[in-house]
A and B are shown apart, each in its own frame.
Chain A
Amino acid sequence: MEPASGLRLDHNHDLSLREFPYIVRWRDDRCKRCGRCTAACPVKAIEAAVKIQRYVVSEGDSPAPKAERKVIQIVEQATDMERYCVGCGACTLVCPNEAIEPEFNPQNKLLHYKNKGGEGYKRGGRRNDPAISTLDRLKFTRISMLTDPALDAGRHEFRLRTLLGRILPPEELPLKLVNGKLIADKESGRFIPPVREIYPIMIGSMSIGALSPPMWEGIAMGVSYLNEVEGMPVVMCSGEGGMPPRLLKSKYLKYFIIQIASGYFGWDEIIHALPHMVEDPAAIEIKYGQGAKPGDGGLLMAQKVLKLIAGIRGVPQFVDLASPPTHQTKYSIEEAVAKMIQSMSMAWGFRVPVYPKISGTRTAKAVLNNLARNPYAAALSIDGEDGGTGAAYNVSMDKMGHPIASNLRECYLDLVKQGKQNELPLIAAGGIGKKGNLAANAAALIMLGASAVSIGKYIMQAAADCFGDEYNRCNLCNTGKCPRGITTQDPKLYRRLDADKVAERVVETFKAADVELRKIFAPMGRSTELPIGMSDGLSTDDKAMAERLGISYAC
């Protein structure tokens, strides 16, 4: 007779550890059974277990082996896919004796099994592709030598600034000549769109709610410090979900881009704070898409909707907050883009740049051209497939979307064709600094035509030690169980994260990137303006890539 289900002696329907993405290497000889690892594991993938161990002993002068049994305590890895080891390494971090470490298993079959109850695999992070991206295959090969002496990154003055906002073509500037001098003709009635001078690396949209209070606060403090102390006009985007009311009414609002997305979360509070604002925000970003999960809406899981978040967003506590994939009240690009841009502009008296953010797509040029004809559109932000997210279906993250390099390039060249490349700034995002090369990736995108780049995942990794990587390490952002305390609303977890430390690291990261940008631009002889579109400075070792991007091939 067949044994009842679950009692099969051959364990035929159980999974072996070889199917799991990370195998926990636990060393019996080093472990002192303190239990810290099992307590720290965010997914309960390891647990203390009691086993009976059979061993053979022999005592006396001549061999007389006999088997004995003893009860031992071990740390055991679960073979339950709902508790699979995510490889975060929180166990290693807390182990006093270096007795435990997860090891990546390239043969894993996670995606075959992570669909219990017919629910697709959801996670946070970015596309799980550890291959070298296009951005990391671009090199700076136009080195100034002798005919045009290279500049000195340490001594010469560099202007690493960019413009965010719609810029009038020179032919349309309201200038008049008076006594041999040009003056701005204030009576012309010509609308002069608002333009901000900002640092070309921005911090992209990550919401309060997706991020823990100390993480969001740490980034915000770092950004404020960069502006006020270091004189670097770095701006960050709120993400969808509003901003703390005190911040909205503070002088620091000018360092923030407020995002509006399809759920309009937080906007009731923002609108109510409008009369009390002492500064305008840096810009308004209208989110239409996200590179990590194109065509997908946002989702803040109920367990992350605590009192603070519920208050800021103006919703009840502990409910799933789903933003629809599209802005439900809009039915056409005219509605979705033109009217929304105008409405948002009007809310701030046309003093604030308003721009849309879309996910990288083959149809980006259609959006671009619509914006190019809209005099109120301040920029276009394109988020490539390597962008990060707090929660999405794995299939959206891994398989949907467009790489940023060629998408950005074709949009820039389209503007060049129309002579509008200076009028509508392009912001590129998605995978910048994926391999740690923040400045190089940013510089490459700028030279392909981006006016600025936006980072998210990188700053979580650099400033708050996010475990996530492209081997699907950790990526628990959606669960609210972030072991670093970055993407959680659980005080027990976010207490681990020191907001001051995060702020310090944000500052260090930007200052280092600034030095590295100079080290890239100085040998190329560029210092007076950001080399937007200086494609003659770039090369790649792939001919097809070179042809697609309109740059040179070098090998």
Chain B
Amino acid sequence: MCRLAAITSNKYFSPIENILALETMKEGHDGSGLGLTLKDLGGEFEELKAYPILSGICSKKGIEVVNDYMKKKGFRLEHIWNPKIKTVKGIAPRDHYFARVYEYPPAYKDKSAEEKEDLLMNTRLALRKIGEPDESIFAFSFYPDVITLKEVGDPLELGEFFGLDSDGLKAKIIFAQGRQNTNYQIYLYACHPFFIQGYCSMTNGENTAFVPIREFLMGRGFPGYIGYNSDSEVFTHILHYTARQLGYPLQYYKDVITPLKPAEIEARKDSDALKLMKQSLRPLCIDGPNMVIGFTPDGTCFMVQDSKKLRPGVVAGIKGKYALMSEECGVDKAVPKRDKSMDIFPMKYDMVIVSPGAEEVKVWNQLQG
């Protein structure tokens, strides 16, 4: 069972905070990897919020391919961030870890946000396709104001490896996953958090309904619904599908992945819509033990449970800084000074939503709608 540590704040903070929280939950990850997604970036990225950032890992050959490809597509490189790699025993460094900030191609200057998002995603997928066979390129995200870092190893050691303790890399929302590999082979594309067009999620669990969900998503005709090296990637894509593609408000994500029973639906004011949704989105119903933490493009963070609440999860903090974690000890590390009586342990019908800037926390109850 992986351990998850998400923090959302109105101030910039270092990802080392998430890593230290993960360290307190160490029995839950086995050194098979760390995934970090940072949103609403500070430091050197604070002035570059409008520009898309390509995050990934490349071999020496891969970086040349990336440069050529991006140039060919009209992207102009604005800025490069590379972690200052320290040698840490047990972690084999790859050639290039990077976050590269680009200017959109001139033809896209006046295009809509959706068109720009599609361009970014298709570019990321093209790079992935080129680099996947020989593992020369890993492209994790390509989106404005978002950076993704992933590597195999113990989270604390990886924090040191990437020099995150001394680097000025900061953000207002940071998701971190300490991996307990259950995907048979340790592979970077199987590492959470997963990101697509502003939507991100990480999961602590095992999705037994993975195959039918994957097949349904892949049948939507949307090019971004590929990959699926982890059964948890579908949670991100379901979020993207319901919120962006179908335009449903965020709370309906819960209704899609864990629909209510017929009698419970009847009690909801939007029962007519729910009944139709339940039928049409039946293949996206998840199963097995799963706790999902995610964020949306506006910076809202949330936590939901599977329909039986078979995994732990807690949301707690103070106004301006909230932690969404697998375990209480992680929250204690991230936000020690808080009123613990206000800690929220979402149950099977709950969706805990933290508003952008960690302003307020709401528990949306599925039964009440």
Binding site for B on A (CB under 8 A): 142, 144, 147-149, 151, 156-157, 159, 163, 167-171, 173-175, 177, 180-184, 192, 195, 197, 416-422, 524-529, 531-536
Cα distance, A533 to B217, chains bound together (Å): 13
Which of A157, A195, A529 contacts B285, CB < 8 Å? A529
Contact of B279 among A156, A167, A418, A526 (CB under 8 A): A167
Known: A177-B249, A182-B274. 6 other contacts (CB 8 A): A147-B182, A149-B289, A182-B248, A184-B272, A526-B288, A528-B307
Chain B residues near A531 (CB, 8 Å)?
208-209, 212, 287
Closest to B219 in A: A419
B210 is an interface residue with CB less than 8 A from chain A: yes
Tell me if A168 and B262 are in contact (CB < 8 A). no
* Given A416-B219, A419-B220, A528-B307; A184-B276 close (CB under 8 Å): yes
B280 within 8 A of A: yes
Q: Are A181 and B286 in contact (CB under 8 A)?
A: no
**Chain B residues in 8 Å Cβ range of A420:** 219
Mark interface residues in B200-239 (1 if CB within 8 Å of A CB, else 0). Answer: 0000011011111001101111000000000000000000
Are B182 and A528 in contact, with the CB atoms below 8 A?
Answer: no
Query: B273 at the A/B interface (Cβ < 8 Å)?
Result: yes
| Bound Cα distance A136, B163 (Å) | 57
Contacts of B297 in A (CB 8 A): none
B288 contact from A157, A173, A417, A525, Cβ within 8 A: A525
Q: Which residues of B contact A525 (CB under 8 A)?
A: 206, 208, 287-289
Known A-B contacts A422-B280, A529-B287, A532-B283; the reply to A148 vs B262 at CB < 8 A is no
Residue of A nearest to B272 (CB): A184
11 pairs, CB–CB < 8 Å, chain A vs chain B: A144-B208, A149-B289, A167-B282, A170-B246, A181-B269, A183-B272, A416-B215, A419-B219, A419-B221, A529-B209, A536-B210
A167, A416, A525, A528 interface centre (most CB from chain B within 10 Å)? A528
Binary interface encoding of chain B residues 250-270 relative to chain A, with 1 for a CB under 8 A from any of its CBs, else 0: 001000001101100000011
Residues of B within 8 A of A197 (CB): 262
- Does chain A have a CB within 8 A of B281? yes
Residues of A within 8 A of B324 (CB): none
For A527, the chain B residues whose CB sits under 8 A away are: 287, 308
B262 / chain A contacts, CB cutoff of 8 Å:
197
Quick check: A180 and B249 within 8 Å, CB to CB? Answer: yes
Which 10 A/B pairs are nearest by Cβ-Cβ distance?
A419-B219, A148-B206, A525-B208, A184-B272, A182-B273, A529-B285, A533-B212, A525-B288, A170-B280, A147-B182
Q: Within the assembled complex, what's the spacing in Å between the Cα atoms of A156 and B277?
A: 24
For A184, the chain B residues whose CB sits under 8 A away are 272-273, 276
When chains A and B are docked, how far (Å) is the Cα of A171 from the Cα of B216? 13
Contact A168:B221 (CB < 8 A) given known A163-B282, A532-B212, A536-B211: no
CB contact under 8 A between A528 and B283, given known A171-B246, A416-B215: no
A302 to chain B, nearest CB (A): 46
A534 touches B209 (CB 8 A): yes
Interface pair B282/A168, CB less than 8 Å apart: no
Q: For A151, what are the chain B residues with a Cβ–Cβ distance below 8 Å?
A: 308
Are the CB atoms of A173 and B276 closer together than 8 Å?
A: yes
* 0/1 string, B285-296, CB within 8 A of A gives 1: 111110000000
Q: Is the CB of A422 within 8 A of B216?
A: yes
Report Cα–Cα, A531/B215, bound state, in Å: 13
Contacts A156-B308, A184-B272, A528-B287: A170 and B209 contacting too (C-beta < 8 A)? Answer: no
Contact A168 B219 (CB under 8 A): no
Partner of B280, one of A167, A177, A528: A167
State the Cβ distance, B209 to closest chain A Cβ, in Å: 7
**B279: chain A residues within 8 A (beta carbon):** 163, 167-168, 195
Chain B interface mostly helix, strand, loop or mixed? loop
B106 within 8 A of A: no
Q: How far is the CB of B350 from chain A (nearest CB, A)?
A: 17
Q: In chain A, what residue has the closest Cβ to B283? A: A422
Q: Are B249 and A182 in contact (CB under 8 A)?
A: yes
Question: Please, how many angstroms separate the alpha-carbon atoms of A533 and B214 in the complex?
Answer: 11
Q: How far is the CA of A157 from the CA of B282 in the complex (A)?
A: 17
CB pair B220 A148 closer than 8 Å: no
Chain B residue at minimum C-beta to C-beta distance from A417: B219
What range describes how many residues of B lie at the interface? 35 or more
- Whether A148 touches B208, Cβ cut-off 8 Å, given contacts A173-B277, A181-B249, A195-B279, is yes
Does any Cβ of A come within 8 Å of B54's Cβ?
no
Question: Smallest CB-CB separation from B215: which chain A residue?
Answer: A416
Considering the chains assembled together, what is the distance between the CA atoms of A159 and B34 in angstroms? Answer: 36
Q: Which A residue sits closest to B268, measured CB to CB?
A: A181
Check: B310 CB closer than 8 A to any chain A CB: yes
Chain B residues with CB under 8 A of A528:
209, 258-259, 285-287, 306-307
Given A175-B276, A532-B212: A183 touches B287 (CB 8 Å cut-off) = no
Say whether B208 contacts A524, CB under 8 Å.
Answer: yes
Closest approach, in angstroms, between the C-beta of A146 and any C-beta of chain B? 9
B369 in contact (CB, < 8 A): yes
**Chain B nearest CB, measured from A410 CB (Å):** 14
State the Cβ distance, A23 to closest chain B Cβ, in Å.
Answer: 51
Question: Is the CB of B63 closer than 8 A to any CB of chain A?
Answer: no
Cross-chain contact B270 with A183 (CB below 8 angstroms): yes
Q: Does chain A have a CB within 8 A of B247?
A: yes
Which one of B205, B219, B245, B282 lies within 8 Å of A418 (CB-CB)? B219
CB proximity of A157 to chain B, nearest CB, Å: 8
Taking A173-B276, A183-B273, A529-B285 as contacts, is the C-beta distance between A147 and B206 under 8 angstroms? yes
Distance of A148 Cα from B310 Cα, bound (Å): 9
Who on chain A is nearest to B249 by CB? Answer: A180
B191 at the interface (CB under 8 A from A): no
Measured between alpha carbons, how far is A197 from B273 in the docked complex, in Å? 17
A residues near B274, Cβ cutoff 8 Å? 182
Chain B residue with Cβ nearest A159: B261
Residues of A within 8 A of B272 (CB): 183-184
| Chain B: minimal CB distance from A369 (Å) | 15
Of the candidates A159, A167, A529, A535, the one whose C-beta lies within 8 Å of that of B211 is A535
Say whether B1 faces chain A, with CB atoms less than 8 Å apart: yes
Distance A171 CA – B280 CA, assembled complex (angstroms) = 9
Q: Quick one: which of B211, B282, B369 contacts A534, CB cutoff 8 A? A: B211
Contact of A175 among B205, B245, B277, B308 (CB under 8 A): B277
B-side contacts of A182, CB under 8 Å: 248-249, 252, 270, 273-274, 277
Give Cα A524–Cα B280 distance, bound, in whole angstroms.
Answer: 24
Report the bound CA distance from A142 to B281 in whole Å.
24
Chain B residues within an 8 Å CB radius of A156:
308
> Which of A142, A157, A180, A419 is most buried by chain B, counting CB atoms within 10 A of its CB?
A419
CA distance A174 to B1 in the complex (A): 40
On whether the beta carbons of B280 and A168 are closer than 8 Å, the reply is: yes
Whether B215 and A170, one on each chain, are in contact in the complex, defined by CB atoms closer than 8 angstroms, is no
When the two chains form their complex, are residues A149 and B310 in contact, meaning their CB atoms are under 8 A apart? Answer: yes
Cα distance, A142 to B209, chains bound together (Å)? 11
State the CA gap A149–B274 with chains docked (Å). Answer: 29
A547 → chain B closest CB, angstroms: 17
Q: Please give me the residue from chain B that is nearest to A529 by CB atom.
A: B285
Shortest C-beta distance, A542 to chain B (Å), equals: 21
CA A147 to CA B282, docked complex, whole Å: 25
Contacts of B308 in A (CB 8 A): 151, 156-157, 527
A535 to B215, CA, bound (A): 11
With CB as the reference atom, state the residue of chain B lying closest to A181.
B270
Q: Report chain A residues within 8 Å CB of B248.
A: 182
B191 to chain A, nearest CB (A): 16
Report the Cα distance A169→B279, complex, angstroms: 9
Which single residue of chain B is at the shortest CB-CB distance from A197?
B262
Q: A166 to chain B: closest CB distance in Å?
A: 10
Distance in Å: Cβ of B255 to nearest Cβ of chain A? 9
Contact with A along B18-49 (1 / 0, CB 8 A): 00000000000000000000000000000000
Q: Given A420-B219, A532-B212, A535-B211, decide whether A173 and B283 contact each other with a Cβ distance below 8 A.
A: no
Q: How far is the CA of A197 from the CA of B279 in the complex (A)?
A: 10
A525 nearest in chain B by CB position: B208
CB–CB B282/A422 < 8 A: yes
Q: Using Cβ atoms and an 8 Å threshold, which residues of chain B touch A159?
A: 261
